[in-house]
Amino acid sequence: MTARGGLVAAVERESPAERAGLCPGDVVEAVDGRPLTDVLVWSWAAAEDQVDVRVSSPGSPPRPLELERDRGEAWGLEFEGAIFDGIRTCRNECTFCFLGGLPGGLRPSLYLRDDDYRLSFLFGNFVTLTNLEDADVARIVEMRLTPLHVSVHAADADVRRRLLCPREGDRGLERLDELLAADIEVHAQIVLVPGVNDGPVLDETLGWLAARPGVVSVGIVPASSTRHTPRAGAALDAGAAAELLGVLEPWRTRMRSERGVSWVHAADEMWLAVGRPLPPGMDYDGYPQFENGIGLVRSFIDEFGALEASGGHGLRPVGTRTDGRHPAPVLVTGTLFAPVLEGLVRDSLAEHGIRVLPVRNRYLGGDVSVAGLLTGEDIVRAVRDHGGRGDYFVPEVVFNDDGVTLDDQTVEMLAASTGGVVRAVSADARGLVAALTGTGRGWVEHR
């Protein structure tokens, strides 16, 4: 990635990009005279079948190129990353920001507080809109970057100041209204801090959002703390979670009547905390808050059940061969999801001896309990305490795109440290079953 254009990572053979002379390592600095700041500029300009680009190569001055393609033909090039002029960072000092609770010494990218509307559109990242300029709003509207994912937290100005602690003026709600007026749809997020933005404040915020039809869904997630920083408010215990679910249900009933959707959705952990069954899949409205972690558990349960009903569990799991050299698989997960997974295994796969290994997150501590934030250090400790006997299936969400955990450990390193067999497997039900039965590429094995 570079600040002066998009770095070409790959070029397909015999593609329009190759025919024009583009090669991996080239930098596309501009397209049709417009600086190439991100993939959105490229997608906007390259919608036509002929584009003019300015390209530079290592050791060579910039040169013009003309790219042409047949209608419907792909350009055949891939950029490294999506943002080329630097990711926009947050101008706020949110009291509940999870990144503020990370320990020191981790890789620098983990401390990046992104607040970039482009990442909101492209990948579903939630942004506050507090750093938008007039030109940004105009660009969002011109390019129809919809939907966006926006962190609202509260409609009350005083509560917002208490929560966001903006270093500059907070025009987030004003910007939100500008975008909604231009028919940009929004998926909203409220990070709930008990004693701060719950109760009447939450009810006011939901009313403010409900008055805006362009807000098509709302996700309520609890603020999370680690052992490295104090919480900004009280913990969301089972009692508080039950109270919150009670507050949301009238809103869900009203919205089903008025709009035909549940509209507001509570985080999975709130349902699990009170021990209540999660809503049925149809109540999640097509899972608009899936990237926010809302509906992951229900989706997994339903997919697992569908596979069972179709006979997807009928094959012998890969770790239960009769030669005695392969102990039954052990499914590694966080403490939050472990009871759900244990129930599914008990009901469907118990005869195969498959076990679940809940891993407590000691590295981060606090109330962090999801599998995606487990570290290699904690997994190694748990596997050793478990005895290291078995094929340990670690969900791939533990690793980033480069294949490393939060504390920079790879699957190979986990296997070496435990002395056992470690497999990185898909985190969804279909991928897990494929790994268990050996019916698909659901895993990668390391000894």
Cα-based distances in Å from 245 to 36, 188, 260? 46, 18, 19
- Neighbouring CB atoms inside 10 A of 2's CB total 15
Predicted structure pTM score:
0.90
Same domain (yes/no): 69, 105 = no
Reported as a single tens digit per residue, the pLDDT across 159-216 is 999 999 998 889 999 999 999 999 999 999 999 999 999 999 999 999 999 999 999 9
Task: In whole angstroms, give the CA distance from residue 220 to residue 188.
Answer: 9
For residue 29, give both structure tokens.
């600095």
| CB contact at 8 A, 191 and 149 | no
Coil/strand/helix, residue 226: coil
Please list the alpha-helical segments (H only) found in 147-276. Answer: 157-164, 172-181, 199-210, 238-259, 268-274
Helix axes 238-259, 199-210, angle to 10 degrees: 20
Is residue 130 domain-shared with residue 230, that is, in the same domain? yes
Q: What is the CATH number of the domain that holds 124?
A: 3.80.30
Q: What is the DSSP string of 10-27?
A: EE-TTSHHHHHT--TT-E
Q: How many domains does the chain have?
A: 3
Claim to verify: residue 357 and residue 321 sit in the same structural domain: yes
What is the dihedral sign for C-alpha 440, 304, 334, 233? positive
Residues 255 and 141 in one domain: yes
Bond into 279 cis (ω within 30) = no
Q: Say whether both 282 and 323 belong to one domain.
A: no
Instruction: Tell whether 224 and 323 lie within a shared domain.
Output: no
Residues 286 and 310 grouped into a single domain = no
* pLDDT above 90 (res 319): no
Domain holding 148, by residue range, is: 98-292
Is residue 360 within 8 Å of 378, Cβ to Cβ? Answer: yes
> What pLDDT digit, counting tens, does each position of 3-35 carry?
489 999 999 999 999 999 999 999 999 999 999
In this structure, is residue 73 part of a structural domain? yes
- Within-domain flag for 88: no
Domain boundary (229, 260, 292) is at 292
185 shares its domain with 241: yes
Read off the pLDDT of each residue in 405-428 and give the average, rounded to a whole number. Answer: 93
Domain presence at residue 104? yes
Tell me, yes or no, whether 247 and 197 share the same domain.
yes
Residue 404: what residue type? V
Copy the structure tokens of residue 234: 């009280």
pLDDT of 443 reads 40
pLDDT of residue 321: 41
Query: Same structural domain for residues 260 and 314?
Result: no
Q: What is the pLDDT of residues 242-267, one digit of tens each?
A: 999 999 999 999 999 999 999 999 99
Note whether 115 and 74 are same-domain residues: no
